[in-house]
A and B are shown apart, each in its own frame.
Chain A
Amino acid sequence: MTESARQTLLTIEGLTKAYPGVVANDDVSFAIGEGEVHALLGENGAGKSTLVKMIYGLVRPDAGRMVLRGAPFAPPQPSAARAAGVAMVFQHFSLFEALSVAENVALGMEQAPKQRELAARIAQVSEDYGLPLDPYRLVGDLSAGERQRVEIIRCLLQDPKLLIMDEPTSVLTPQEVAILFDTLRKLAAEGTAILYISHKLEEIRALCDAATILRRGKVVATCNPREQTARELAEMMVGATLATPSRAEATPGAAVLEIGGLTVTPANPFGTALRDITLTLRAGEVMGIGGVAGNGQDELLAALSGETRTEPGAIRLKGKPIGDAGPNARRALGLLCAPEERLGHAAAPDMTLIENATLTATIRKGLVSGGFVRWPAARRFAEEVIATFDVRTPGPEVAARALSGGNLQKFVIGREVMQSPEVLVVNQPTWGVDAAAAAAIRQAILDLAAQGAAVIVISQDLDEIMEVADSFAALNAGRLSAPVATQGLTLERIGLMLGGAHGMHEADLDEAHRHSHPEGAA
């Protein structure tokens, strides 16, 4: 299909939406053609989510209008948008874990047929588009990729004219991304327009026909992403030139952290059991642990931080068994952790930054004397973290909740880095963080390793692992592969190590196991 042959499907003219203190969208205008894959680009807080929520009827615009196929379009609620042929695949927050696939699909439809009929239609659509799915399974038991299929099938059953996808690939393996792109291209060829939101610029260049770039709520550029480099796109988003993290060549030192035969049963019913995890981490080494969400990342972090206790000998720090030590004992010995969930796990949302800094730094920074907190010292430490990591906040007495995601992430990572750990474990250090903040966090990790600390980066972002890690290991269904050097490692090889696309490439999966366990466990 050529540009000129396309009929315009949706026109957006001058959409404006203001929240107290911030204009989320300011006079946003663009158009999407039928069968077009249109990218919406922007940093966190640029107003992408608000914009698509207005199209989907979740938020009402203050000003401006939308025209869908020549008719005015102002959905008062999502059901009206769905009736008009607009469907949305959410980044998160839209599936019910304790309900079955068919029930989840039924909840997203206006007139849901009987469960048995619906199950048959789900099977039909999943076959048509190559998205295998069992309608009777509980969503809580599905992998991230399978969950996304539930969302996509829920949309496809309504025969949408416009499909909105919010960060669809952030939790997928490369193979699953390839399957998703095939599906999307097939849909576009059938005339469905797709509005695609993502941070991943290479994917946008591969998939999208047009891109609209938002910065601070305004449209700053419209372009054909295929004619731009990823770097140019990123700089349009940020409005400044980007610094690439630099790393010094380093030779790893002595082993500091040894994990042998670590096996953990999860506490919650949808958790993943860790099975026989073994690894050795050397001083100055950055090890990237990749894997699709829900393969044991949270459990591994909990076992390393001391939230989950294990056999004493399963984890050794500089030869000392610490498997049964609590978080504070581990901190005293130099093992620090920064979990994935910023609000509620890494930081207490309603406490100030000073209090949050004190929570993990009391021991290594000596912030307590005689049972009393030394608040002046705690404040100095918090200010130090804020200054060093360029955390944008009015001051250290602001509640953690008030910070934007990227700024809070810089703070919680900075808090651990500034305690000069010997081993630092971070889970998803740049999840939901914009490009500039992500680069700063990665640089901090590299600098820490250059000073001789050992770092484990658990991440689902493979580009991030390739950027910072010296070695790579894959976490798959609670098992950790043997680590390999990242130098010369291809994305295809990593994809195989991660277990390929769930349920689609059984052969590849087996092959990956053979690669990662050369001895072969028969």
Chain B
Amino acid sequence: MIGSIDPVLLVASLMIASTPILLAAIGEMVVEKAGVLNLGVEGMMIVGAICGFIAAVKTGSPLAGFLGGALAGAAMAALFALLTQVFQSNQVATGLALTLFGLGLSSLIGQGYNGIRPPATARLDLGPLSDIPVLGRMLFSHDWMVYASLGLVAAVWAFLRYSRAGLILRAVGESHDAAHALGYRVVRIRVLALMFGGACAGLGGAYLSLVRVPQWTEGMTAGAGWIALAIVVFASWKAGRVLLGAYLFGGVTVLQLNLQAAGVAIPVQYLSMAPYLITILVLVVISADRSRVALNAPAMLGRNFHASR
């Protein structure tokens, strides 16, 4: 039975399955590093999914689709930024509202787009790399978005670690009062981080509707935004661990689907919950040292800043 699962195909579909969550999680990590807790990832993702889908269908270009998804996600994030950074609303409540709003808005916009196939996203031609036996099919025969998402993770890691702008972003998340006292524009930096996070979530959503599924159905994100949020926390705000968490989740998801198809004698319910359990378990074990995690956690996470002093 288990022999019917092809490991090559498994790894290949793992990368596809993980990309939406990876994109959303890496964006949310930047937002949280700036000290903002945006629980609206799910909402931004699904609005990105439908807007990206429509843009791709209308123009016939997947690139326009991804751009549309990113813009829609960023627009949702801008709404969140306006409410929390300018009008000082509560971040948790606003984030939850953003998710509910996004789910409703996407079904409204998506009327009449059910059952349509979007234009196919091109594979990235990696030349001889794709011809390597086994490895070529596993790793080097995907669409360009998969590699773009990996590049984004590397870029975010380097940005936060080495660049001055990244240092300022971390400083704002660590103590907004101190950053303000030194003359940094806390609200502007946070709004920019939020827009970046929204664009990433929108991209992740667009990837779902354009490549992973690929078609539009209502509520198609099915909790991917929430697992992205959880991965950021359990990965203790480290880009490398976010990658690990997203791939682990995608991997176990693909594996359990394959196991279900192969008819393994484990109840389906257990298989379905496996990705969530295993991902959180592994990341919790990695970040078992609480004091080191607290060191990496943005101290101002979820706290509103008002320059009153």
Interface residues of A (CB under 8 A from B): 57-58, 77-79, 82, 90, 93-99, 103, 106-108, 112, 138, 140, 268-269
21 A/B residue pairs, CB under 8 Å, sorted by A: A78-B183, A79-B183, A93-B177, A93-B178, A94-B182, A96-B170, A96-B174, A97-B174, A97-B299, A98-B170, A99-B167, A99-B171, A103-B167, A107-B171, A107-B182, A107-B184, A112-B164, A268-B294, A269-B290, A269-B294, A269-B295
B76 to chain A, nearest CB (A): 30
Chain A contacts for B164, CB-based, 8 A: 106, 112
- B296 interface hit (Cβ, 8 Å): yes
Chain B contacts for A90, CB-based, 8 A: 178, 181
Closest residue of A by beta carbon distance from B292:
A269
Q: Is there an interface contact between A93 and B291, defined as CB atoms closer than 8 Å?
A: no
Chain A contacts for B179, CB-based, 8 A: 96, 107
Task: A302 to B102: give the CA distance in the assembly, Å.
Answer: 45
| Bitwise interface map of B from 160 to 197 toward A, beta carbon under 8 Å scored 1, else 0 | 00001001101100110111011110000000000000
Taking chain A's interface residues, is the majority helix, strand, or loop, or is none over half, making it mixed?
Answer: loop
Chain B contacts for A107, CB-based, 8 A: 167-168, 171, 179, 182, 184
Chain A contacts for B294, CB-based, 8 A: 268-269
Chain A contacts for B168, CB-based, 8 A: 107
Task: A266 to B228: give the CA distance in the assembly, Å.
Answer: 32
Task: A79 to B295: give the CA distance in the assembly, Å.
Answer: 29
Task: A82 to B184: give the CA distance in the assembly, Å.
Answer: 13
Chain B contacts for A103, CB-based, 8 A: 167, 171
Given contacts A106-B167, A112-B164, A269-B294, contact A98 B183 (CB under 8 A): no
B211 to chain A, nearest CB (A): 38
Residues of B264-306 at the interface with A, using a CB-CB cut-off of 8 Å, are 290-292, 294-296, 299
B46 to chain A, nearest CB (A): 34
Task: A108 to B168: give the CA distance in the assembly, Å.
Answer: 10
Lowest 9 A-B CB distances belong to which pairs? A78-B183, A269-B291, A93-B177, A96-B174, A94-B178, A269-B294, A94-B181, A79-B183, A77-B183
Q: Is there an interface contact between B183 and A58, defined as CB atoms closer than 8 Å?
A: yes
Chain A contacts for B171, CB-based, 8 A: 96, 99, 103, 107
Q: Is there an interface contact between A99 and B181, defined as CB atoms closer than 8 Å?
A: no
Given contacts A107-B167, A107-B168, A269-B295, contact A99 B174 (CB under 8 A): yes
Chain A contacts for B291, CB-based, 8 A: 269
Question: How many residues on the B side are at the interface (Cβ–Cβ under 8 A)?
Answer: 21
Task: A73 to B150: give the CA distance in the assembly, Å.
Answer: 49
Most central of B168, B183, B294, B295 by chain A CB within 10 Å: B183
Task: A457 to B95: give the CA distance in the assembly, Å.
Answer: 45
Residues of B37-92 at the interface with A, using a CB-CB cut-off of 8 Å, are none
Q: Is there an interface contact between A98 and B178, defined as CB atoms closer than 8 Å?
A: no
Task: A518 to B161: give the CA distance in the assembly, Å.
Answer: 50
Q: Is there an interface contact between B178 and A96, defined as CB atoms closer than 8 Å?
A: yes
Chain A contacts for B295, CB-based, 8 A: 98, 138, 140, 269
Chain A contacts for B182, CB-based, 8 A: 78, 94, 107-108
Chain B contacts for A78, CB-based, 8 A: 181-183
Task: A96 to B184: give the CA distance in the assembly, Å.
Answer: 13
A73 to chain B, nearest CB (A): 16
Chain A contacts for B175, CB-based, 8 A: 93, 95-97
Closest residue of A by beta carbon distance from B170:
A99
Q: Is there an interface contact between A58 and B181, defined as CB atoms closer than 8 Å?
A: yes
Task: A94 to B174: give the CA distance in the assembly, Å.
Answer: 11
Closest residue of A by beta carbon distance from B172:
A96
Most central of B168, B175, B178, B295 by chain A CB within 10 Å: B178
Chain A contacts for B177, CB-based, 8 A: 93
Chain B contacts for A99, CB-based, 8 A: 167, 170-171, 174
Chain A contacts for B178, CB-based, 8 A: 90, 93-96
A141 to chain B, nearest CB (A): 10
Task: A77 to B186: give the CA distance in the assembly, Å.
Answer: 13
Chain B contacts for A79, CB-based, 8 A: 183
B68 to chain A, nearest CB (A): 37
Sample of 17 further A-B pairs with CB below 8 A, known A94-B182, A97-B299, A269-B295: A58-B181, A77-B183, A78-B182, A90-B181, A93-B175, A96-B171, A96-B175, A96-B179, A97-B174, A98-B295, A99-B170, A99-B171, A106-B167, A107-B168, A107-B184, A269-B292, A269-B294
Chain B contacts for A138, CB-based, 8 A: 295
B307 to chain A, nearest CB (A): 9
Closest residue of A by beta carbon distance from B293:
A269
Most central of B167, B168, B181, B292 by chain A CB within 10 Å: B181
Chain B contacts for A108, CB-based, 8 A: 182
Task: A106 to B174: give the CA distance in the assembly, Å.
Answer: 15
Task: A58 to B178: give the CA distance in the assembly, Å.
Answer: 12
Given contacts A58-B183, A108-B182, A269-B295, contact A98 B167 (CB under 8 A): no
A404 to chain B, nearest CB (A): 14
Chain A contacts for B184, CB-based, 8 A: 107
Closest residue of A by beta carbon distance from B298:
A98
B174 to chain A, nearest CB (A): 4
Task: A103 to B178: give the CA distance in the assembly, Å.
Answer: 13
Residues of B117-169 at the interface with A, using a CB-CB cut-off of 8 Å, are 164, 167-168
Closest residue of A by beta carbon distance from B168:
A107
Chain A contacts for B170, CB-based, 8 A: 96, 98-99
Chain B contacts for A82, CB-based, 8 A: 183
Task: A140 to B178: give the CA distance in the assembly, Å.
Answer: 14
Chain B contacts for A96, CB-based, 8 A: 170-171, 174-175, 178-179
Task: A103 to B162: give the CA distance in the assembly, Å.
Answer: 11
Most central of A78, A94, A98 by chain B CB within 10 Å: A98
Closest residue of B by beta carbon distance from A140:
B295
Q: Is there an interface contact between B181 and A98, defined as CB atoms closer than 8 Å?
A: no
Task: A106 to B162: give the CA distance in the assembly, Å.
Answer: 12
Task: A94 to B183: give the CA distance in the assembly, Å.
Answer: 10
Chain A contacts for B167, CB-based, 8 A: 99, 103, 106-107
Closest residue of A by beta carbon distance from B178:
A94
B242 to chain A, nearest CB (A): 18
Task: A90 to B174: give the CA distance in the assembly, Å.
Answer: 17
B179 to chain A, nearest CB (A): 8
Task: A107 to B167: give the CA distance in the assembly, Å.
Answer: 8
Closest residue of B by beta carbon distance from A138:
B295
A98 to chain B, nearest CB (A): 5
